[in-house]
């Protein structure tokens, strides 16, 4: 799957992943109102509006980007109906040829991580048949429990030709609280990065990258520079561009000399573009066109930064 992602990045010339992270505040009013009229003001209506929102967004950007990253928490907040919208979003995006990174940040003891890996990347066996739960192409994984919490994901990646991104240095303001602390003279995130290399060693694909990538926030460009070098064969998923404050110029060092090695996420900056002054002319009715314009601007910003 890492090779598929790389091929799509090359084809679109866009190392960009769009975060499909719907919230009540981002949902265009006309979609919510239509769903309320049909279902009443309830969670089923909201979930229907979320799916309609995602589908219009995907239709507008599918030719521009290689991948999307739905953040499952935003769907989980709406319980079972929300998770049904997540499941249908994943399926729709895959039908449209997009690589789907499930931003699930799971991680547990071995037997439990195995169940999460089955849920998001693999399958369970029922009688004679295989059942696939959410079936994303990639998932994000939390490393706090160490190797035996991550290995079950790597095993499923190898079996199913899928991939993971392990949290190394996250984009949030307090990420340094534990991740930056020095252990034998090096930050915790460096130690995690070392393990990312180890965990992915057996899964390097034809483009020279492993199925085990890393998450490193755009908001920490200096750390990104160091981590790029520490994990030469790991793709870096870079959140924090746009709404969280990261800029195009900060991104250069997340890439390798081959122009590959990083994929930059923007969520609110794209899907909520219609609410920004810059794209206000589109109006809520044309939120998907605003998203497309924001993707094109982001693409230009990154291309210009990469020179």
- The nearest distance, CB 30 to its own copies, in angstroms, is 16
For 257-292, give the DSSP string. TTS-SEEEEESHHHHTGGGSGGGGGGTGGGHHHHHH
Of residues 48, 54, 89, 175, which one binds its own copies by CB under 8 A? 175
Q: What is the DSSP string of 136-156?
A: -SEEEE--TT-HHHHHHHHHH
| Alpha-carbon span 34 to 19, nearest angstrom | 24
4-12, 108-116, 205-213, 257-265 -> range binding its own copies (CB under 8 A): 108-116
Q: Tokens 């997340």, residue?
A: 254
Adjacent-strand bridge partners of 165: 140, 213
- 26 near its own copies (CB under 8 A): no
Q: How far apart, in whole angstroms, are the C-alpha atoms of residue 168 and residue 175?
A: 10
Interface pick for its own copies out of 34, 64, 115, 260 (rule CB under 8 A): 115
12 lies in the site for its own copies, by CB under 8 A: no
Task: Choose, by CB under 8 A, the member of 59, 109, 232, 249 that binds its own copies.
Answer: 109
* Smaller CB separation from its own copies, 11 or 37: 37
Query: 26 or 305: whose CB is closer to its own copies?
Result: 26
Could you tell me the CA-to-CA distances from 134 to 121, 212, 215, 219 in Å, in that order? Answer: 7, 19, 21, 30
Q: Is 200 in the site for its own copies (CB under 8 A)?
A: no
Site for its own copies in 73-92 (CB under 8 A): 73-74, 76-80, 82-84, 87
Residues with Cβ within 8 Å of 118's Cβ and at least 6 positions away in sequence, in order, are 124, 133, 156
Per-residue binding letters, 123-142, with its own copies (x by CB under 8 A): -xxxxxx-xxxx-------x
Binding of its own copies at residue 159 (CB under 8 A)? no
Q: Which is nearer to its own copies, 74 or 288 (CB)?
A: 74
DSSP 71: B
CB of 210 to its own copies, least distance (A): 19
Stretch that binds its own copies, among 53-61, 66-74, 257-265, 283-291 (CB under 8 A): 66-74
Active site residue 225: no
Handedness of CA 100, 74, 271, 302 (dihedral sign): negative
Tell me, by CB under 8 A, how many residues bind its own copies. 73
Binding map of its own copies across residues 27-46, x = CB under 8 A, - = no contact:
---------x----xxx-xx
> Least separation, in Å, of the C-beta of 252 and its own copies?
23
Instruction: List the x/- string, 222-261, binding to its own copies by CB under 8 A.
Output: -----------------x----x-----------------
Distances (CA, A) of 172 to 70, 83, 168, 216, 303: 18, 25, 12, 10, 25
Q: Which two tokens stand for residue 91?
A: 């399926």
Q: How far is the CB of 47 from its own copies (least distance, A)?
A: 10
Vertex 141: Cα angle to 250 and 56 (nearest 5): 70
Task: Please identify every residue annotated as catalytic.
Answer: 105
């Amino acid at each position: 799957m890492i090779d598929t992602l790389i091929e799509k990045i090359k084809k679109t010339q866009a190392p960009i992943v769009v975060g499909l992270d719907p919230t009540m505040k981002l949902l265009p009013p006309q979609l919510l109102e239509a769903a309320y009229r049909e279902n009443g003001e309830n969670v089923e209506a909201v979930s229907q509006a979320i799916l309609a929102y995602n589908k219009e967004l995907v239709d507008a950007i599918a030719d521009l980007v290689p991948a999307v990253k739905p953040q499952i928490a935003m769907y989980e907040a709406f319980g079972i109906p929300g998770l049904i919208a997540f499941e249908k979003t994943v399926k729709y995006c895959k039908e449209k040829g997009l690589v789907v990174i499930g931003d699930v940040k799971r991680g547990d003891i071995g037997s439990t991580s195995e169940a999460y890996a089955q849920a998001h990347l693999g399958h369970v066996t029922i009688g004679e048949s295989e059942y696939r739960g959410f079936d994303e192409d990639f998932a994000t994984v939390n490393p706090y429990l160490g190797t035996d919490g991550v290995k079950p994901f790597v095993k499923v990646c190898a079996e199913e030709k899928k991939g993971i991104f392990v949290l190394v240095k996250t984009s949030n303001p307090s990420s340094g609280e534990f991740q930056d602390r020095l252990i034998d003279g090096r930050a915790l995130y460096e130690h995690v990065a070392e393990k990312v290399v180890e965990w992915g060693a057996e899964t390097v694909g034809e483009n020279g990258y492993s199925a085990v990538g890393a998450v490193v926030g755009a908001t920490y460009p200096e750390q990104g520079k160091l981590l790029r070098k520490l994990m030469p064969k790991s793709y870096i998923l870079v959140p924090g561009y746009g709404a969280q404050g990261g800029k195009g110029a900060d991104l250069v060092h997340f890439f390798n000399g081959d122009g590959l090695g990083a994929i930059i996420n923007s969520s609110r900056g794209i899907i909520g573009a219609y609410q920004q002054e810059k794209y206000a002319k589109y109006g809520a009715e044309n939120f998907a066109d605003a998203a497309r314009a924001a993707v094109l601007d982001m693409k230009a910003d990154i291309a210009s930064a990469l020179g």
